[in-house]
Amino acid sequence: MRASARSGGMVYQSFRETSRGIASYLPYTSTSYQFSSTELVFKRFATKKTGGASKNGRDSRPKFRGIKVQNGGRINAGQAILSQMGFKFHPGWNVTSKRNCTLIALTDGCVWFEKEVDGLNPKDRTLVHVLPPEEVRRRQKFTHSNYSIFTTQ
């Protein structure tokens, strides 16, 4: 209970009754009722949700997947070569994979992507190796400029 300073009299602050309480028996054309010397104020509460909140607007944070070091690029041990979902690229020499399929270099060297073509296996796999820089230079000499490891034949 709180006394109102403006009206000078005693005004009881509104209280909520249940739908079967005293408020349901009174018509709600009037918001205040006079009982003897005190005044009770009833408030009508909304039964519908307002239409202000949007149901969209949620988004997940970016995962930054993809190749971090290109073919022939230098890499240190422990660095991520690429981040992926599932094994589109498979670990080769001096490369290991984490639980989320990220490929990690085990030694210092250069990254080399190689297409593995198996006559018995219908699936072609792309292997990722970490090789010494001399080996990568030797392999780049024998790679033709018009042939790429990512082209389909």
Residues 76, 21, single domain; the answer is: no
Residues 81, 110, single domain; the answer is: yes
> pLDDT band for position 51 (50/70/90)?
low
- Do the domain assignments include residue 38? yes
Average pLDDT value for residue range 23-34 = 52
Q: By three-state DSSP, how is residue 25 classified?
A: helix
Residues 39, 85, single domain; the answer is: no
High-pLDDT (> 90) share of the chain, %: 41
Check: CB of residue 91 under 8 Å from CB of residue 113.
no
Position 116 pLDDT exceeds 60: yes
Average pLDDT value for residue range 49-76 = 86
- Do the domain assignments include residue 84? yes
If you average pLDDT over every residue of the chain, what do you get?
76
- Do the domain assignments include residue 60? no
pTM: 0.56
Residues 91, 31, single domain; the answer is: no
Residue span of the structural domain in which 112 resides: 66-142
The CATH number for 134's domain is 2.40.50.100
> pLDDT band for position 66 (50/70/90)?
very high
Domain count, the chain: 2
Position 152 pLDDT exceeds 50: no
Lowest mean pLDDT among 7-16, 52-61, 69-78, 106-115: 7-16
Q: Which two tokens stand for residue 90?
A: 């498979």
- Do the domain assignments include residue 51? no
Average pLDDT value for residue range 95-111 = 96
Question: Following DSSP, what letter does each residue of 95-138 receive, concatenated?
Answer: EEE-TTS-EEESSSEEEEEEEE--SS-SS-EEEEEEE-HHHHHH
Residues 21, 70, single domain; the answer is: no
